[in-house]
């Protein structure tokens, strides 16, 4: 494959290209969805193709092809070169890169039980166990959805410098969503886990399909006792997952190099400035050691052949770094961070996050965090939300509890929180000392039409003052 | 470059014919093959930084039936070996799946709907022209005010053909062309940043007169925004884009035949009942010829049609694909969609077509003129998709808002929160506008509502 790609690179160079990145991505995707006991989706997809990013006089252009015949590839790379030549005279910000020494990498996965080698029967069995556990723990089930998703494959990267990188991306996800009928309303609960792990991960205590099914049922069931969320400003304890979503969605995107260069991000001129309370640090990292609580996405190299780093974005409240591709790193005189990523061969890489998380703090336990919270709202997980480039956010939590004097009192029904991330970050008082990281096949990050790109996110629990909660219509 | 869609259609249909025979020869009880072939040009302009890409997305999705068990497989590419891989894998998946006692058959209907507008200018559009259109918007925007910050312009031009065939004897193909453009502009002053958005959406190359000027001016005006300092129920007018998102969110689950069958639709027991005001008429419009999503067939090969959903305020129809229409005992409405930018990787699922709404008598200013004290909401409400699809409760943020005082649009406002219930909105309409616009949700007029809880 490297020979085929290098042949094409030579052809483009001899026709005038300044530099070429070439990729071959091949993924096999397996997905099983059961709804109320019926299999409603059982599929296998093979997604393979080649993409060329061609640099010409400060312009870059991308072309891709699923057709791997030599003629189609040549047509593709020449069309990218033509695009770049067309754009070059009109381009106002030059896209340039500093030279790097070539590297050769051949990184084979190291897993006990790779999911893509398991029989379909084994995957159906995981879902069946999750379903029975959910059913044992809930009555009045209106709907029960059990999902299994996985991909595994190969990535080849090479470029004009002669770098050659081969590695295996992989990701697995299992989850359970349940809704119960109660007084004419449907109450929802869900649990699951995903990341770059093998099937052995789901044999650990607390992380089995039985645990996910039971939690989904219990969390839906407890909403029978739920009361209304007190609207307006409250103190809040934000759980590890929702904290990670905030770090990623409302802060992380603003550190992405393309938005920094165009000044679309309000952070473009804020390196070295204080943006958060001094207990807050935010990190973006490519490769993390898997543990029971840390279930990241494995990303050793980005799609421009840069080794991923542990990138400190915020350190004790001070903005330290942006997330870069090779061209944005040159433009902002920043570090190469390995954040140039594409979702598949049909897209050019753009600055995207890796595993993004709040660094742990000093609170020793959930109990200590609740004590620090005093009276307020404990917000857990999210069903979705929306953010914009000003840092404004709106999230709908999956669960919430009212807390009085450090004690959980009762569950809350609809919990939505909103505000501006920069106020939020200044209002963080304390963080717990543990770290949880989540990733998954279902869900992911969206940007520039590329969704869902696998990422990881998480952190500790955060005690935050003055969080605005939305009211309900009645 | 000359593209002949008829050649593309013939090429895909010939492959379908061959590979259906291959599936049958392997012993499948039924086979459905879906092929899609799309060319696209995408340009992202980020305040002077241009990213551009071009390519052909092409692939196969196959459903196989074996002893009333269904399997699906897909592959990128449509060479013989790729299609054969999909057919063979789908059959193997079917063999290890469960018996589906509700399965009846693949689509048997031999008719087709009408094709949408095909704009050959899109097929010949060069990257230079797209770049020039983009730069014109940028230069206009920059001239408006020195406080203009980022200007981001995203353009997606695509055209393609889908083809579906199955062992019930159907083989059909349909083409479309699409031009989508979004301009996002920020304005910054004294530590405050505001933004504004403009869209162009259709099957033809649009004219971008004043787009840069108008979006930039809106962003600058928002810098003057003040807090509402009020909470309570107040009348609101939504522009076509914001109305479209609201209607689409309210209907996409409630009229979905699958949700109805499974008891997850708020409208499950409302058929032939009054769900909205008597002057409201909404259609699921699979034959909106200017909308880029329109095809002559859905992704199972059923003819696309215009289905009345709410007529004179009364709920008339749910939307169905082949599978759920037979379970519910209703007619198929041609609403099988395959999601994603590589649609061949997805199984067909029920999803709405673009909506269309019968216009009434007043324009936007006319709607505003009727309101003594109210709010104008432009573009969209943030987080509407997080509304509880079952109970319908929503609590969202509207970022682009103006005050309405004595029948006129006045001060721009800081973002407000808006709370309500998706399934009550149709009864809360006080007026429907007369100027429909093609939005990503369909062809929609402005609307005025009462009874939403506003806070800001």
pLDDT of B341 strictly over 70 = yes
pLDDT digits 0-9 by tens, B92-140: 999 999 999 999 999 999 999 999 999 889 988 888 888 888 989 999 9
Q: Rounded CA gap, B395 and B397, in Å?
A: 7
Cβ contact A97:A326 at 8 Å: yes
A471 to chain B, any CB pair closer than 8 A? The answer is yes
pLDDT of B1 strictly over 80 = no
Interface test with A, best of B42, B56, B103 (most A CBs within 10 A): B56
Contact state of B47 with A45 under an 8 Å Cβ cutoff? no
Contact state of A394 with B264 under an 8 Å Cβ cutoff? no
Cβ contact A13:A129 at 8 Å: no
- Tell me how close the Cα of B3 comes to any Cα of chain A, in angstroms: 16
Q: Which residues of A touch B93 (CB under 8 A)?
A: 42-44, 120
Q: Which residues of B touch A447 (CB under 8 A)?
A: none
Contact state of A386 with B420 under an 8 Å Cβ cutoff? no
End-to-end CA distance of chain A: 61
CA-wise closest residue to B332 among B107, B65, B166: B107
A471: pLDDT confidence band, cut at 50, 70 and 90?
low
Q: What is the pLDDT of residue B2?
A: 59
Phi, psi of A410 (to 5 degrees): -160, 155
Radius of gyration for the alpha carbons in chain A, expressed in angstroms and rounded: 23
Among A66, A121, A185, the residue with its CB nearest the CB of B58 is: A66
Average confidence score pLDDT of chain B: 94
Q: What is the pLDDT of residue A473?
A: 41
Q: Rounded CA gap, A159 and A162, in Å?
A: 5
Average pLDDT (B345-370) is: 95
Q: What Å distances lie between residue B229 and A301, A439, B14, CA to CA? A: 50, 41, 65
Contact state of B47 with A261 under an 8 Å Cβ cutoff? yes
Q: Which range has the top average pLDDT, B42-56, B163-177, B185-199?
A: B163-177
pLDDT digits 0-9 by tens, A59-115: 999 999 998 999 999 999 999 999 999 888 888 788 889 999 999 999 999 899 999
Q: What angle do CA B320, B321, B324 make, to 5 degrees?
A: 75
B338: pLDDT confidence band, cut at 50, 70 and 90?
very high
- Tell me how close the Cα of A243 comes to any Cα of chain B, in angstroms: 18
3-state class percentages of chain B: helix first, strand second, coil last, to nearest 5? 25, 40, 40
A449 to chain B, any CB pair closer than 8 A? The answer is yes
Average pLDDT (B18-39) is: 96
- List CB contacts of A110: < 8 A, sequence separation 6 or more: none
pLDDT digits 0-9 by tens, B290-331: 999 999 999 999 999 999 999 999 999 999 999 999 999 999
- Tell me how close the Cα of B361 comes to any Cα of chain A, in angstroms: 30
pLDDT digits 0-9 by tens, B45-101: 988 888 899 988 899 999 999 999 999 999 999 999 999 999 999 999 999 999 999
The ipTM assigned to this model is 0.87
Complete DSSP assignment for A359-399: PP-SB-SHHHHHHHH-SEEEEEEEEEEEE-TTSEEEEEEEE
Q: Which residues of A touch B397 (CB under 8 A)?
A: 386, 392, 394, 418
pLDDT of A474 strictly over 50 = no
pLDDT of A242 strictly over 60 = yes
- Chain A's closest residue to B386, CA to CA, is A384
Among B127, B262, B455, the residue with its CB nearest the CB of A87 is: B127
Entry pTM:
0.91
Judging by DSSP bridges, how do beta strands A376-387 and A232-238 pair with one another? parallel
pLDDT of A408 strictly over 60 = yes
Q: Which residues of A touch B85 (CB under 8 A)?
A: 46
Among B264, B342, B397, the residue with its CB nearest the CB of A394 is: B397
Q: Compute how many other C-beta atoms are within 10 angstroms of the C-beta atom of residue A384.
A: 14
Interface of A with B in 318-337 (CB under 8 A): none
Cβ contact B437:B444 at 8 Å: yes
Among B54, B393, B453, the residue with its CB nearest the CB of A83 is: B54
A95 to chain B, any CB pair closer than 8 A? The answer is yes
Contact state of B131 with A86 under an 8 Å Cβ cutoff? yes
Percent of chain A with pLDDT over 90: 84
CA-wise closest residue to B149 among B89, B207, B90, B190: B190
Lowest mean pLDDT, pick from A141-155, A362-376, A436-450, B336-350: A436-450
- Chain A's closest residue to B77, CA to CA, is A66
pLDDT digits 0-9 by tens, A157-167: 999 999 999 99
Average pLDDT (B399-407) is: 95
Q: Rounded CA gap, A241 and A279, in Å?
A: 18
Token pair recorded at residue A100: 């790097």
pLDDT digits 0-9 by tens, A344-385: 999 999 999 999 999 999 999 999 999 999 999 999 999 888
pLDDT of A212 strictly over 60 = yes
pLDDT digits 0-9 by tens, A252-310: 999 999 999 988 899 999 999 999 999 999 999 999 999 999 999 999 999 999 999 99
Average confidence score pLDDT of chain A: 94
B34: pLDDT confidence band, cut at 50, 70 and 90?
very high
Interface test with A, best of B96, B147, B194, B386 (most A CBs within 10 A): B386
- Chain A's closest residue to B86, CA to CA, is A45
A427: pLDDT confidence band, cut at 50, 70 and 90?
very high
Q: How many residue contacts between A and B have a Cβ separation below 8 Å?
A: 231
Quick one: how far is CA B46 from the chain centroid?
25
């Amino acid at each position: 494959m490297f020979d085929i790609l290098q042949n094409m690179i030579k052809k483009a160079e001899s026709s005038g290209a300044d530099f070429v990145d070439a990729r071959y991505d091949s993924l096999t995707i397996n997905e099983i969805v059961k709804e109320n006991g019926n299999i409603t989706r059982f599929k296998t997809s093979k997604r393979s193709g080649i993409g060329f990013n061609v640099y010409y006089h400060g312009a870059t252009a991308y072309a891709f092809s699923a057709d791997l015949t030599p003629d189609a590839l040549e047509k593709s790379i020449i069309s990218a070169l033509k695009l770049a030549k067309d754009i070059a005279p009109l381009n106002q910000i030059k896209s340039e890169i500093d030279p790097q020494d070539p590297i050769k990498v051949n990184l084979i996965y190291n897993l006990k039980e790779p999911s893509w080698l398991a029989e379909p029967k084994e995957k159906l069995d995981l879902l069946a166990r999750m379903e029975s556990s959910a059913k044992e723990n809930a009555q009045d089930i209106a709907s029960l959805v059990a999902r299994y998703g996985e991909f595994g494959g190969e990535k080849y990267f090479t470029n004009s410098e002669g770098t050659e990188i081969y590695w295996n991306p992989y990701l697995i996800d299992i989850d359970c969503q349940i809704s119960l009928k109660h007084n004419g309303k449907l109450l929802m609960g869900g649990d699951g886990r995903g990341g770059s792990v093998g099937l052995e991960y789901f044999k650990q205590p607390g992380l089995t399909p039985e645990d996910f099914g039971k939690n989904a049922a219990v969390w839906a069931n407890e909403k029978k006792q739920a009361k209304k969320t007190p609207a307006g400003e409250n103190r809040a304890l934000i759980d590890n997952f929702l904290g990670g979503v905030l770090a990623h969605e409302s802060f992380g995107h603003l550190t992405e190099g393309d938005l920094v260069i165009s000044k679309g991000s309000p952070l473009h001129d804020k390196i070295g400035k204080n943006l958060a309370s001094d207990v807050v640090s935010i990190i973006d990292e490519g490769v993390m050691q898997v543990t029971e609580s840390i279930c990241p996405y494995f990303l050793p190299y980005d799609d421009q052949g840069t080794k991923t780093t542990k990138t400190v974005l915020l350190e004790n409240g001070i903005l330290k770094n942006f997330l870069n591709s090779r061209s944005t790193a040159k433009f902002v005189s920043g570090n190469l961070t390995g954040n140039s990523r594409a979702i598949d061969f049909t897209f050019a890489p753009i600055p995207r996050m890796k595993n993004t998380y709040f660094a742990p703090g000093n609170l020793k336990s959930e109990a200590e965090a609740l004590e620090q919270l005093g009276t307020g709202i404990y917000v857990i997980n999210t069903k979705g939300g929306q953010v914009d480039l000003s840092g404004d956010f709106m999230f709908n939590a999956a669960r919430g509890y009212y807390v009085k004097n450090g004690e959980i009192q009762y569950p809350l029904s609809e919990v939505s929180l909103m505000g501006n991330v920069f106020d939020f970050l200044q209002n963080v008082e304390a963080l717990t000392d543990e770290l949880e990281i989540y990733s998954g096949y279902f869900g992911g990050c969206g940007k520039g039409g590329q969704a869902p790109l696998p990422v990881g996110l998480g952190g500790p629990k955060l005690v935050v003052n003055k969080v605005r909660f939305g009211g309900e219509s009645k | 470059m000359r593209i002949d869609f008829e050649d593309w259609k013939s090429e895909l249909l010939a492959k379908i014919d061959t590979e259906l025979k291959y599936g049958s020869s392997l012993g499948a009880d039924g086979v459905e093959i879906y092929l899609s072939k799309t060319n696209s040009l995408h340009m992202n302009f980020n305040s002077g930084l241009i990213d551009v890409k071009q390519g052909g997305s092409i692939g196969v999705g196959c459903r196989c039936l074996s002893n009333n068990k269904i399997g699906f497989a897909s592959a990128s590419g449509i060479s013989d070996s790729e299609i054969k891989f999909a057919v063979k894998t789908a059959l193997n998946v079917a063999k290890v799946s469960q018996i589906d006692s509700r399965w009846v058959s693949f689509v048997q209907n031999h008719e087709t709907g009408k094709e949408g507008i095909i704009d050959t200018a899109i097929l010949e559009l060069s990257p230079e022209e797209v770049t020039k259109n983009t730069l014109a918007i940028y230069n206009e925007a920059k001239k408006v005010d020195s406080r203009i910050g980022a200007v981001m312009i995203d353009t997606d031009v695509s055209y393609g053909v889908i083809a579906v065939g199955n062992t019930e004897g159907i083989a059909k193909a349909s083409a479309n062309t699409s031009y989508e453009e979004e301009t996002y502009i920020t304005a910054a002053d004294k530590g405050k940043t505001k933004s504004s958005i403009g869209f162009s959406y259709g099957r033809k190359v649009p004219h971008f007169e004043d787009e840069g000027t108008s979006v930039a001016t809106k962003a600058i005006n928002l810098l003057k925004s003040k807090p509402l300092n009020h909470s309570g129920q107040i009348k609101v007018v939504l522009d076509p884009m914001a109305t479209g998102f609201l209607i689409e969110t309210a209907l996409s689950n409630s009229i979905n035949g699958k949700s109805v069958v499974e008891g997850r639709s708020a409208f499950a027991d409302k058929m032939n009942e009054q769900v909205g005001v008597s002057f409201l008429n909404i259609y699921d419009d699979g034959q909106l010829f200017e909308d880029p999503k329109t095809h002559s067939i859905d992704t199972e090969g059923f003819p696309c049609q215009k289905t009345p959903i709410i007529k004179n305020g009364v709920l008339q129809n749910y939307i169905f694909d082949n599978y759920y229409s037979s379970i519910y005992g209703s007619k198929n409405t041609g609403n099988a969609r395959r999601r994603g930018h590589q649609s061949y990787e997805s199984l067909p699922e029920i999803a709405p077509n673009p909506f269309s709404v019968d216009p009434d008598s007043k324009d936007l200013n006319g709607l505003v003129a009727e309101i003594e004290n109210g709010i104008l909401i432009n573009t969209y409400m943030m987080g509407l998709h997080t509304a509880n699809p079952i109970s319908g409760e929503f609590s969202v943020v509207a970022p682009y808002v103006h005050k309405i005082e004595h029948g006129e649009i006045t001060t721009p406002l800081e973002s407000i929160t808006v709370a309500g219930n998706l399934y009550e909105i149709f009864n809360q309409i006080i007026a429907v506008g007369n100027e429909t616009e093609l939005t990503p949700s369909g062809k929609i007029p402005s609307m005025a509502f009462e009874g939403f809880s506003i806070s800001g």
